[in-house]
Structure formats: structure tokens, C-alpha cells
Amino acid sequence: DAGVTQSPTHLIKTRGQHVTLRCSPISGHKSVSWYQQVLGQGPQFIFQYYEKEERGRGNFPDRFSARQFPNYSSELNVNALLLGDSALYLCASSPNEGRYREETQYFGPGTRLLVL
């Protein structure tokens, strides 16, 4: 079975532009989470979506938004890009809402965003 897939793999944008990142979860997984990993640091939680509803939001500005589609794929949107938004953006999927001790989140390869 295919794992979590993300597109594009790399992206270069300039300050002030908008970007859309895409994620397809593992088949049968209903929850998608987004994380930002700045170079040299651990990933930071941005959003979680389950059954098309936002179930969690990290400490990120309103420039960051996301949505989940009926097929459980997801998009992360970032408006008015800043230099500090340069990072690896990771998507993770899990079978259910992730509120169970046994659930594991499976990560995709990430989208590397560079803002110039």
C-alpha cells in the first residue's frame, strides 16, 4: 500500500506570495495533521483535520489555513509568505481521530518550502 504522499516536493516562493501544499493520506486513514519543521529543529504542530473538520490548531498565525476533502486528502495554505516560513512541511495521517493511546501518526516525505 502507498504511504502518505505530498506534493510538490520542493517549492520556491517570494515574500508576500501565497502557497498551497497537498497531502494524500494512507488509504483508509481519516485524520490528517500538518507540521512545520524549521531547519535544525523538531516538527511543530500546525493543524489536525478529521472527517473534514478542524480538530486541533497549533500556535500559528491566521495566515496559515487548511482543509480536508471528502476523500480525506488535505491542503495547507499559507498567505503573505515571510522569510521565516521557509521550512519542511510534513503531513501525517492516522486511522482515526488520534485520540487513542495506540494510534500512530505516519508521516509523508514533506514539502520543502524556500521563501526568498
Report which of 35, 47, 31 is spatially closest to residue 98, judged by C-alpha positions.
31
Determine, following the binding rule CB under 8 A, whether residue 48 of this chain makes contact with another protein: yes
Residues 28 and 10: their CA atoms lie apart, in Å, by 27
Stretch that binds another protein, among 13-21, 50-58, 60-68, 77-85 (CB under 8 A): 50-58
C-alpha torsion sign, points 40, 43, 64, 34:
positive
For 69, the 3-state DSSP assignment is: coil
CB of 16 to another protein, least distance (A): 28
Please select the residue that binds another protein; options are 44, 65, 73, 86, rule is CB under 8 A.
44
Q: Buried (b) or exposed (e) across 65-90, using 16+ Cβ within 10 A?
A: bbebeeebbbbbebeebeeebbbebb
Find cell 503573505 and name the residue: 80
Report the nearest approach of another protein to the CB of residue 2 (Å).
14
Query: What is the contact mask toward another protein in residues 67 to 106, using x (rule: CB under 8 A)?
Result: -----------------------x-x-x--xxxxxx-xxx
- At its nearest, how many Å lie between another protein and the CB of residue 42? 3
Residue ranges in contact with another protein by CB under 8 A:
4, 31, 33, 35, 40-45, 48, 50, 55-56, 58, 90, 92, 94, 97-102, 104-110
